[in-house]
Amino acid sequence: MLIYGTEISSRLLLGTAQYPSPKVLKDAISASHCDIITVSLRRESSAGSGAGFWDRLRDLNVQILPNTAGCHTAGEAITTAHMAREIFGTTWIKLEVIGHSDTLQPDVFGLVEAAQELTREGFQVFPYTTDDLVVGEKLIAAGCEVLMPWGAPIGSGQGLRNPDALRSMRAHFPELPLIVDAGIGRPSDAARAMELGCDAVLLNTAVAKAGDPAVMAQAMAQAVEAGRRGYLADPMPKRDMAVPSTPVFGIAELA
């Protein structure tokens, strides 16, 4: 998978919030074999862990994708992206502009506005968006080379609430990397997203809040790989009636 000119081997991306300890986080990342992890500057700064937490992330030898979680305006998101560039020395930014406090649904108007400004400044933007085709087109016009449609509200574990919309996005943007972001609760959800033709899955809570995060991280990685292989294998279509696997012709008739 190629994103902004960078080859990514793993199609599973992990968040770093809500883990019970740094060791559990490290074990989960190791078990997942992921290449990219996300981190929220606003969340970690407010928690007081700050530079110590970020230094531990750097030691994990994975690509860090800072995000603007907790931002509710384009201005907040742009300022946070500037901070991320200074701290991590990267132009990658997962762009979140939240429009609804309960559902954490993106404010697509603020999202497009922020994406336009950040790409103009040289950032490589990973926008957390809805599964709307028109919004997707506007983000691409703003300079985004990847889309991150939600599967369900962040942290809900509801899986894919609108698989038809994701299928439509795949058909409408056949060459663009699509990363399902948010809502994945179980390995079967991750596999389903990949079977629809999405290129990767980003999740956090499903692993961080599992009874055994490392085991769940491994399960998610295996599900993503299985789903991808299933998609590439071109699955058989669903049928309205049963079709016998053994031919009926040539069967002996016993009197």
Q: Is 204 annotated as a binding residue?
A: yes
94 part of the active site: yes
Distance, CA of 30 to CA of 12 (rounded, Å): 12
The answer to whether 126 touches 149, Cβ cutoff 8 Å, is no
**Which burial class, exposed, middle or buried, applies to 234 when counting CB atoms under 10 A from its CB (0-12, 13-18, 19+)?**
exposed
Q: Which two tokens stand for residue 214?
A: 């490392």
- The answer for residues whose C-beta is within 8 angstroms of residue 113's C-beta and 6 or more apart is 74
Relative to beta strand 36-40, strand 12-15 is parallel
First to last CA, the chain: 60
The answer to whether 92 touches 126, Cβ cutoff 8 Å, is yes
Distance, CA of 163 to CA of 238 (rounded, Å): 16
Q: Is 193 annotated as a binding residue?
A: no
Distance, CA of 85 to CA of 95 (rounded, Å): 13
The answer to whether 158 touches 197, Cβ cutoff 8 Å, is no
Q: Is 252 annotated as a binding residue?
A: no
Residue with tokens 């995060």: 213
Q: Is 80 annotated as a binding residue?
A: no
The answer to whether 131 touches 169, Cβ cutoff 8 Å, is yes
> Catalytic: which of 23, 26, 94, 209?
94
Q: Is 61 annotated as a binding residue?
A: no
DSSP 8-class letter at 144: -
Active-site residues, by number, are: 94
Q: Which residues carry a binding-site annotation for 1-deoxy-D-xylulose 5-phosphate?
A: 155, 182-183, 204-205
Q: Which residues carry a binding-site annotation?
A: 155, 182-183, 204-205
